[in-house]
Amino acid sequence: AQKVTQAQTEISVVEKEDVTLDCVYETRDTTYYLFWYKQPPSGELVFLIRRNSFDEQNEISGRYSWNFQKSTSSFNFTITASQVVDSAVYFCALLYMIYNQGGKLIFGQGTELSVKP
């Protein structure tokens, strides 16, 4: 069975602190994709990153960085020097293939990040 777990329901930090959002996934597939999305109060999902299962290289994009470790089935997301504008709900998601049905996206429970000034 496919599953994505974000154990942290809510995180509150003070501006300029670093914060890491955890994501653990389960799948028996060898080919899959992992995503992170940001959902601000408006509700619209904002795509942050996509990783395929064969690319374990960590990635940095400005203040954002991602650590993908297949050995622990984790795809953690770190925000460095957090800002108030980072306040949102963040979702980790797994895309896996189903025979004759294409790809399906399953989301974690989400982590609500609150960055206080």
User: What residue ranges bind another protein (CB under 8 A)?
Assistant: 33, 35, 37, 42-45, 47, 50, 52, 91, 95, 97, 101-110
CB of 23 to another protein, least distance (A): 12
Of 9 and 83, CB closest to another protein: 9
Q: How far is the CB of 11 from another protein (least distance, A)?
A: 15
CA distance 47 to 70: 22
CB of 85 to another protein, least distance (A): 19
41 or 62: whose CB is closer to another protein? Answer: 41
Q: Please state whether beta strands 64-69 and 88-98 pair in parallel, antiparallel, or not at all (unpaired).
A: unpaired
Q: How far is the CB of 3 from another protein (least distance, A)?
A: 12
| Identity of the residue, 18 or 59, whose beta carbon is nearer to another protein in the bound complex | 59
* Interatomic CA distance for residues 72 and 115, integer angstroms: 28
- Residue linked to tokens 């028996």: 28
Cα–Cα distance for residue pair 46/40, rounded to 1 Å: 8
- For the purposes of burial, counting CB atoms within 10 Å of the CB of 22, is it exposed (0-12), middle (13-18) or buried (19 or more)? middle
Q: Which is nearer to another protein, 10 or 18 (CB)?
A: 10
